[in-house]
Amino acid sequence: MIFPHLFRLELRLLARERAAWVLFALFAAALAYGTWNGARLAQRQREIATVLRQDSEQFQTQLREVLGKQSVDPKAIAGRGTTAVLPPAPLPLLATGQSDLSPGHETVVLWKLAAPADTRSELENPSHLMAGRFDLAFVLVWLFPLFLLALLYDLMAGDREAGTLRLALAQGITPWRWMARRALARALPMLALAALATLAAGLLDGAGGAGTRLALALAVILAYGLFWVALALAVNAVARSATNAATALGAAWVLLVLVAPTLLNVTVETLYPTPSRPELVAAGRKASGEAEKRGGELLNSFYRDHPELAPPDQQADFAAQHLTVQSEVGRAVEPVREKFDAQLARQQTAVARWRFLSPAIATHEALTDLAGTGYWRHRVFREQVGGLRQAVSEFFTPRIHKREPITLGDFDQLPRFEFREEPTGVWMSRVVSSLAGMLVLAGALSAWTWRSVRPARLGLLSA
Amino acid sequence: MILAIARKEFLDAWRDGRFRIAAVVVVVLLGVALLLAWQQVQRTRAEHAAAATLERENWLNQGEKNSHSAAHYGVYVFKPVPPLAIFDRGLEPFVGTTVYLEAHRQNQAAFLPAQDATAMRRFGELTAATGLQLLTPLLVVLLTFGALAGERERGTLRQVLSLGVRPRDLVLGKALGLGLVLAALLLPVALFSAVALAQLPGGDAGGSWVRLAWLGGAYALYLAAILAVCLAVSAVASTARAALATLLVCWAANAVLAPRLGGDLAQRVLPTPKLAEFEAAMHKAVQEGLDGHSPRQQQLQEFAQETLKKHGKTRLEELPFNFNGLVMLESERLAGKVFDHHFGRLWDRLESQDRLVTWAGLAAPLLGLRSASMALAGTDFTQHRHFSVAAEQHRRDFVRVLNEDLMNSTAGGHHGGVADRSLWEKLPAFRYDPPTTAHALRAATPGLMVLFLWAAGAWTALLLVAPRLKPN
């Protein structure tokens, strides 16, 4: 560093500003609260997942014992259902993401395969879902830039206004170097706090192998911080007064953090309208009504829904017929459902493409991806639950049709859910491209600032 | 004097290029939000109407089947979108749109639009309401931060006061002038909202105009309170820069922090149960009675004995009707009591959480406004609950008609025979009457009170600060 003394001087000046210490304290408090809040939510979700997993393990043990003694009617096992649980996210404290909205578990029951998907999530107050969470991602994406800008809005504009700029530059440094050194020195404590909180969140609650994710999260946060530093530099290059600079940076924050994401949301929903759930539901019902009518009289009887009450010698027939109708419904609804899913994927792909519109969007997407609470991991979960539905149907249907009991030999083949994480390369490419995009943006802004504050441009040489 | 000052402030603001750009951006955003929401409401309504028609056909054309089987086939009902959702979508994306009505159980409304949306939804939604709630206060800050502090800094405040202008008149004149600027900006938005509402088919249903007028009043109170706070800060701040910093911190606390902290507070003080616990408790109460000591089987056996005694018979087969139907009626009645109790408690809890957050609005006026605005637009939780209750009532009516058919038109001892379209037609389609304006006003009252207190408090503070205006 050519002017290390300047860097040190700025740090020392910063340490003397009372307001700066207040800002550090507030930011640290917000980070701590966000982490703590995220930890509580993660704990709640882990408890729910644990109870579900224990239930299903207990059932497996009992079933194994029973099967050791005798064979069991497949209908009895199929009726209990197979529960799919999304394992706790690898870095849950980093971001709540979609985990409070998208259900993290689903029980697949053979008899209800054709029913509309179960989308019940936890009992959250809808107003809280609307307001969003005070988690680490919120502090990092929303508040971090505000705190940075509060320290950085006056890098040069104030000196220009007061006429002290020439004096400051008289020590023989270019305006760019002077400004950049000051900016880095002033941003350093905030960047360090943000990085520390992220590290802490990862160390407090990180699944095995979360190291790469944590390293990338640190990189994303630093890149996001650097973008705002670069923006503060660029605004200072042109602003004529500190107040002007503050107003311009405030407006930039509002546009990039508040307005851009909502505009992107509105645009995506206008370009690719969310398909109608009610229509999907009604279409499925139409198919099932038609299939039932073809299903024969036997099926239109009371016992269709209460096979347990049917005369023992007829139960199997009802079950078999029910499955026949169900698979017909499944086939009829499949194309509608596929179109529905494809449209949802198109929406999110559009968001991914346009995330560079605002680094806030890119950072939010990257952090939720790294936390394992983002859109894509939940989508992968839903797709794998789809796979489980198929496995359940393929395992039980032929056995029920053939009236074949389940024996101990079948135990290992019983459908079970094992979540396979999205391949590392896939999420990493999303995160790395976000990261690269932000670095390019920060670089471009800096290059522009560098050109704009050359002494000749500033008019410092002419007078 | 006040008017002259007001006129000067008004002209000054219009001539400020920075403000003009910001104002145009905000007004355009509000307009776009209204237009898109208007389209969205119409699209959603068309979708729901199409689905409801199809669903009714499904029901009528289900063919001949056992009436209890039909009760299991069930009916789906769809939540209508209130007209003022074009202004404030409120909770609509975060509550279910569809309720499945079936025998034996009360289901919650399912399919939250936000679950089918991209993660961007979590950044908040661009509606006319959110624009007015979050962005216009920033315009007010921009307008006012230098109004008094700036003049003090430049030394013009000393000059003006030396002319003998009373400080109170100066402050009131500025308030009036800047208030008029805001009014001039927002009047087109109000007009545009009214036109959009008028152009919406069925837009005037459910007292929409009265609600819109109250909405106008609520937002006026909010902005009036913010204007007074901003001027008061500008009156006491030593420099314009200090005033700007203070006001931006207040804005961020109100707009960004308060909604999240309010939610956290409510969940902490009045927690909601976990879904699994809630369902297990309800299931248990259905099986064992609300008091936990009257098992269902036992209750139904006692019911059978009583019925026999009432009709003077000794065997169920001798009854003049199918006892299986009557037993289902009775067990639906018993289960209904359990559902009312458990869902009632859950919904009461959610409503008291919302009330707590609304009163937390005494610290951050946005919380009061948000609650009043959603209530008046018909998109708050109380109105979602109203729909859920109506849907459940429809379920009970529909299951009752089917069970009565089972009881009266089939032979005893059977689980019933086959019914046909004539029975299906007896069940009317679901018709929902949204809550009245009086309901909306009741729900909006706490929020409106919070706003009123804020406006009154802020103006009192401004009037107290004004006479003590220091020239430097």
- The pTM of this model reads 0.92
Q: For residue B24, give the DSSP letter.
A: H
Closest-approach residue (CA) in chain A for B240:
A243
Give me the pLDDT at residue B324, please: 84
Cβ neighbours for B367, distance < 8 A, ≥ 6 positions apart? B258, B259, B262, B357, B358, B360, B361, B450
Closest-approach residue (CA) in chain A for B270:
A125
Q: Render pLDDT for A378-405 as a digit per residue (tens, 0 to 9).
A: 999 999 999 999 999 999 988 888 888 8
Give me the pLDDT at residue A85, please: 92
Q: Kindly tell me if the per-residue pLDDT of A462 is higher than 50.
A: no
* A4 has a chain B CB within 8 A of its CB: no
Confidence band for A461, pLDDT divided at 50, 70 and 90: low
Interface A-B: count of C-beta contacts within 8 A: 251
Q: Kindly tell me if the per-residue pLDDT of B8 is higher than 80.
A: yes
Confidence band for A330, pLDDT divided at 50, 70 and 90: confident
Closest-approach residue (CA) in chain B for A271:
B36
Give me the pLDDT at residue B413, please: 56
- In this structure, of A85-99, B385-399, B447-461, the range with the lowest mean pLDDT score is A85-99
Give me the pLDDT at residue A73, please: 87
Whether A261 sits inside 8 A of B124 (CB atoms) is yes
Whether B62 sits inside 8 A of A130 (CB atoms) is no
φ, ψ of residue B340 to 5 degrees: the values are -55, -45
Name the residue with tokens 């951006």.
Answer: B25
Question: Is pLDDT larger for residue A376 or for residue B324?
Answer: A376
Rounded to whole angstroms, the Cα distance separating A175 from A185 reads: 15
Rounded to whole angstroms, the Cα distance separating B348 from A25 reads: 38
Rounded to whole angstroms, the Cα distance separating A415 from A418 reads: 10
Q: Kindly tell me if the per-residue pLDDT of B116 is higher than 90.
A: no
Q: Kindly tell me if the per-residue pLDDT of A27 is higher than 90.
A: yes
Cβ neighbours for B466, distance < 8 A, ≥ 6 positions apart? B167, B168, B170, B171, B172, B235
Closest CA of chain A from B1, distance in Å: 30
Q: Kindly tell me if the per-residue pLDDT of A1 is higher than 70.
A: no
Helix (H) or strand (E) holding B197: helix B167-199
Chain A residues with beta carbon closer than 8 angstroms to that of B43: 273
Rounded to whole angstroms, the Cα distance separating B8 from B6 reads: 5
Interface of B with A in 367-426 (CB under 8 A): 381, 384, 415-416, 418
Q: Render pLDDT for A163-202 as a digit per residue (tens, 0 to 9).
A: 888 888 887 788 888 889 899 999 999 999 999 999 999 8
Confidence band for A302, pLDDT divided at 50, 70 and 90: low
Torsion, CA B89, CA B123, CA A261, CA A234, rounded to 10: 140
* A403 has a chain B CB within 8 A of its CB: no
Torsion, CA B279, CA B280, CA B283, CA B285, rounded to 10: -110
Question: Is pLDDT larger for residue B443 or for residue A169?
Answer: B443
Closest CA of chain B from A61, distance in Å: 22
Give me the pLDDT at residue B120, please: 86
* B436 has a chain A CB within 8 A of its CB: no
Instruction: Tell me which residue of A13, A31, A270 sits closest to A144, measured CA to CA.
Output: A31
Say whether A17 sits in a helix, a strand or coil: coil
Contact B455, B463 (CB under 8 A): no
Q: Render pLDDT for B300-334 as a digit per residue (tens, 0 to 9).
A: 889 999 999 998 888 888 888 888 889 889 999 99
- Sign of the four-CA dihedral B395, B398, B402, B404: positive
Q: For residue A86, give the DSSP letter.
A: P
Cβ neighbours for B113, distance < 8 A, ≥ 6 positions apart? A274, A277, B92, B93, B94, B97
Rounded to whole angstroms, the Cα distance separating A176 from A234 reads: 10
Q: Render pLDDT for B193-234 as a digit per residue (tens, 0 to 9).
A: 999 999 999 888 888 999 999 999 999 999 999 999 999 999
Q: Name which of A111, A119, A123 to mutate to probe chain B: the one with the most chain B Cβ atoms within 10 A of its Cβ.
A: A123
Rounded to whole angstroms, the Cα distance separating B173 from B166 reads: 11
Give me the pLDDT at residue B394, please: 95
Sequential DSSP letters for A97-157: TTTTTS-SEEEE-GGGTTSPP--------HHHHHH---SHHHIIIIIHHHHHHHHHS-SSH
Q: Render pLDDT for B336-356 as a digit per residue (tens, 0 to 9).
A: 999 999 999 999 999 999 999
Give me the pLDDT at residue A440, please: 96
* B108 has a chain A CB within 8 A of its CB: yes
Instruction: Tell me which residue of B174, B153, B173 sits closest to B244, measured CA to CA.
Output: B153
Rounded to whole angstroms, the Cα distance separating A449 from A238 reads: 9
Q: Region A81-87: what's the mean pLDDT?
A: 91
Closest CA of chain A from B180, distance in Å: 23
Give me the pLDDT at residue A208, please: 62
* B66 has a chain A CB within 8 A of its CB: yes
Question: Is pLDDT larger for residue B397 or for residue A340?
Answer: B397
Confidence band for A261, pLDDT divided at 50, 70 and 90: very high
Q: Kindly tell me if the per-residue pLDDT of B454 is higher than 70.
A: yes
Q: Kindly tell me if the per-residue pLDDT of A331 is higher than 90.
A: no
* A419 has a chain B CB within 8 A of its CB: no
Chain B residues with beta carbon closer than 8 angstroms to that of A128: 263, 266-267, 353
Closest CA of chain B from A259, distance in Å: 8
**Residues above pLDDT 70, as percent of chain B:** 98
What value of ipTM does the predicted structure carry? 0.91
What's the Cα-to-Cα distance from B3 to each of A357, B169, B175, B234, B271, rounded to whole Å?
Answer: 45, 9, 11, 20, 53
Contact A378, A105 (CB under 8 A): no
Name the residue with tokens 């503070």.
Answer: B461
Q: Kindly tell me if the per-residue pLDDT of A209 is higher than 70.
A: no
Give the N- to C-terminal CA distance of chain A in Å, as an integer: 30
Interface of B with A in 278-337 (CB under 8 A): 278
Rounded to whole angstroms, the Cα distance separating A225 from A187 reads: 8
- Sign of the four-CA dihedral A133, A134, A137, A141: positive
**Pick from B100, B108, B116: CB nearest A274:** B116
Kindly report the number of other CB atoms within 10 A of residue A106's CB atom: 22
A154: left (phi > 0), else alpha (psi -120 to 50), else beta? beta
Whether B115 sits inside 8 A of A301 (CB atoms) is no
Q: Which residues pair with B99 in a beta bridge?
A: B77
Confidence band for A298, pLDDT divided at 50, 70 and 90: very low
Instruction: Tell me which residue of B358, B385, B383 sits closest to B372, measured CA to CA.
Output: B358
Give me the pLDDT at residue A463, please: 41
- Per 3-state DSSP, chain B is made up of helix, strand and coil in percentages (nearest 5) of 75, 5, 20
Q: Render pLDDT for B122-171 as a digit per residue (tens, 0 to 9).
A: 888 899 999 999 999 999 998 899 899 998 988 899 998 888 889 999 99
* A293 has a chain B CB within 8 A of its CB: yes
Q: Render pLDDT for B31-70 as a digit per residue (tens, 0 to 9).
A: 999 999 999 999 999 999 999 999 999 999 888 888 888 8
* A258 has a chain B CB within 8 A of its CB: yes
Contact B181, B14 (CB under 8 A): yes
Burial level of A332, CB count in 10 A (0-12/13-18/19+)?
middle
Q: Name which of A33, A130, A280, A337 to mutate to probe chain B: the one with the most chain B Cβ atoms within 10 A of its Cβ.
A: A130
Instruction: Tell me which residue of A223, A229, A226 sits closest to A179, measured CA to CA.
Output: A229
Rounded to whole angstroms, the Cα distance separating A168 from A147 reads: 25
Q: Which ranges of A372-454 does DSSP label H, i.e. alpha helix?
A: 375-401, 424-452
Q: For residue A236, give the DSSP letter.
A: H
**Pick from B29, B91, B241: CB nearest A259:** B29
Interface of A with B in 66-125 (CB under 8 A): 97-98, 101-102, 116, 118-125
Chain B residues with beta carbon closer than 8 angstroms to that of A368: 119
A453: left (phi > 0), else alpha (psi -120 to 50), else beta? alpha
Contact B192, B87 (CB under 8 A): no
Interface of B with A in 149-178 (CB under 8 A): none
Burial level of B161, CB count in 10 A (0-12/13-18/19+)?
middle
Rounded to whole angstroms, the Cα distance separating A103 from A381 reads: 10
Rounded to whole angstroms, the Cα distance separating B53 from B92 reads: 22
Give me the pLDDT at residue B212, please: 96
Q: Render pLDDT for A6-19 as a digit per residue (tens, 0 to 9).
A: 888 888 988 898 88
Closest-approach residue (CA) in chain B for A125:
B350
What six digits make up the tokens of A173? Answer: 């440094």
Q: Name which of A127, A344, A364 to mutate to probe chain B: the one with the most chain B Cβ atoms within 10 A of its Cβ.
A: A127
Q: Render pLDDT for B76-100 as a digit per residue (tens, 0 to 9).
A: 999 999 999 999 999 999 999 999 9
